[in-house]
Chains A and B, each alone.
Chain A
Amino acid sequence: MTAMRWVIVLMSWTVWLGGWTLLDSSLKGWEQNPLSVRMNYTECTISRTVLDRIIDDSFALWNAAPTAKIKLERSSEESTTTPDQFLARSATDSPLILCDASFGSHLSTDPDQVPAATWIPTPVTTLDYGAILLNGQAGRAAEISQLSEAELFVVIAHELGHLLGLGHSQDSAALMYYSINGKTKAVLSQDDLDGLTYVYPRNELSSGPFGCAAVHTSDNDSRLSWFLPWVLLLVAVLMTRIKLRPLL
């Protein structure tokens, strides 16, 4: 009876609520892994050193997710693609991070309120074209030099989530919540992790020590469909049937 009470108390402990979304209903994410992101600093209004540091930290944040397989890295080659060329869909070196001196007019948004935006053409299935545009419109309230480094870190990490295919979250603690108000540090919530893991699921049974890591498998359900019943059967047999002979 005591054990049963424990079980009842512990099982009724918590029901967690999240709410991750994607940019499209059938989105599959980028095929390249690691995903190399190119920079164009031409229209940037903050120092390149500071921007590089914040971007590397943002990459490290998403790269720390243990259940997702995607790895982000900053390309050593700079991009020469301008925001105009990118928005005309003529860029050949996507994904990109660009500073945009005409941010408001290019994106039809208020440059006094929006410090950055991610542009990905939709509808989309497999991501193959996208960029983060940073507000480089001098003198405007949301231009990136007006933000603290901590705020810019949260903004860029949030936009990277979009670049990876995630939409906004309904969870106010999530990095992918629409507002950064009150966030002084970028951290991934369980909701962000769940969204990222859904788009880039890690399957260590088909990579690393159990298979060929060179083969990209964004869809592992077919493998799972036959594998899982066998695992469960094996566990069940081990637990009920086998009597091991003492070895020691």
Chain B
Amino acid sequence: MSAILRIFLAGLLITPFAQAKVQPRTKNFFALDAGIYLPSLEQRFSAPTGYKNSTGPLSGFLRLRRGFHLGKQYFLEPSLGVLLPWRTSYDGSSKTFTTQFDLDLTLPVFVFLRARTGPGLQWQLFVPSGETVRLNNGTDYSYFFTPAKAVSTWVLTWLVGFEVRFSSSFSLNLDAIVLDLASRQRRNYEGVVSVGVVL
């Protein structure tokens, strides 16, 4: 059983015990989430059958959330998350920084369980260093290049997630981020498992 699945199941098992300590959330708040970012979630939990991308590497994920109380227990939660550490090539010749912006609406399912959903924007910044690399070409060696210019990509996303609250301060967040929701061919699911602390 994968480590991620264990964390998920542990979260579900702990949930009923946490219920008694939780008070309904009724005020604006700041929260810091730290956890794991899982690219290609669909491939990670099932044997690959189609010609989609392989599972990417796990990364750390750090996210700052601001909760605006809309009334009752409804909140508007803009958030800004970054993947840490950034991806780096073997020789350090290229770096990729990923930032995730989200604007979610959160609503209570139970006192201890909140659902969130909303649009987002994923920004990836590629910063290569402009080097020439000599690599095996099968029968010989050839020169290949990493360019010098930084390039960005912006992809619209949609987030669906749950926040399991253990106390007024601590929670477990399980989020799925869908890239290119409208395209059956390019649609990709990424996941975030994080522990949140209300600051």
Contacts and interface: CB of A to CB of B under 8 A. Distances in A.
Given A23-B144, A67-B179, A190-B87, 9 more contacts: A13-B36, A19-B90, A66-B155, A67-B124, A167-B133, A239-B66, A244-B68, A246-B71, A248-B74
A27 B147 contact: yes
Interface in A181-227: 185-190, 192-194, 197-198, 201-205, 208-209, 220-221, 224
Contacts, number: 225
B90 A203 contact: no
Contact of B144 (A17, A21, A193, A244): A21
A57 B94 CA distance: 29
Contacts of B91: 19, 170
Given A194-B87, A201-B153, A244 B76 contact: yes
Nearest to B30: A239
Contact of B185 (A64, A170, A178, A244): A64
Nearest to A194: B96
Contact of B187 (A15, A66, A193): A66
A186 B51 contact: yes
Interface string B138-168: 1100101111111111111000000000000
B171 to A, nearest CB: 11
B34 A10 contact: yes
Most buried by A among B35, B139, B152: B152
B51 A246 contact: no
Interface of A: 3, 6-7, 10-27, 57, 60-61, 63-68, 109-110, 113-114, 167-168, 170-171, 173, 178-179, 185-190, 192-194, 197-198, 201-205, 208-209, 220-221, 224, 228, 231, 235, 238-240, 242-244, 246-248
A25 B135 contact: no
B51 A61 contact: yes
B133 A21 contact: yes
Contact of B138 (A20, A26, A113, A221): A113
B52 A64 contact: yes
Contacts of B64: 239
B105 to A, nearest CB: 11
Contact of B180 (A11, A66, A198, A246): A66
B18 interface: no
Most buried by A among B89, B148, B187: B89
A18 B59 contact: no
B100 to A, nearest CB: 11
For the complex of A and B, list the 7 residue pairs with the smallest distance between their C-beta atoms, beginning with the closest: A248-B71, A167-B144, A21-B144, A246-B71, A16-B57, A190-B56, A187-B54
A137 to B, nearest CB: 15
Interface of B: 28, 30, 32, 34-36, 39, 48, 50-54, 56-62, 64, 66, 68-72, 74, 76, 78, 80, 84-85, 87-91, 93-94, 96, 101, 121-124, 126, 128, 130, 132-133, 135-139, 142, 144-156, 170, 179-180, 183, 185-188, 195, 197
29 contacts: A7-B62, A11-B62, A11-B85, A12-B60, A13-B60, A18-B96, A21-B144, A22-B146, A23-B145, A25-B130, A25-B146, A60-B51, A64-B52, A67-B153, A167-B133, A167-B145, A168-B136, A168-B137, A189-B54, A189-B56, A194-B87, A194-B126, A198-B128, A224-B154, A231-B101, A235-B80, A242-B68, A244-B68, A247-B71
A108 to B, nearest CB: 10
Given A17-B88, A25-B145, A168-B136, A238 B78 contact: yes
Contacts of B57: 14, 16, 190
Contact of A202 (B72, B78, B139, B153): B153
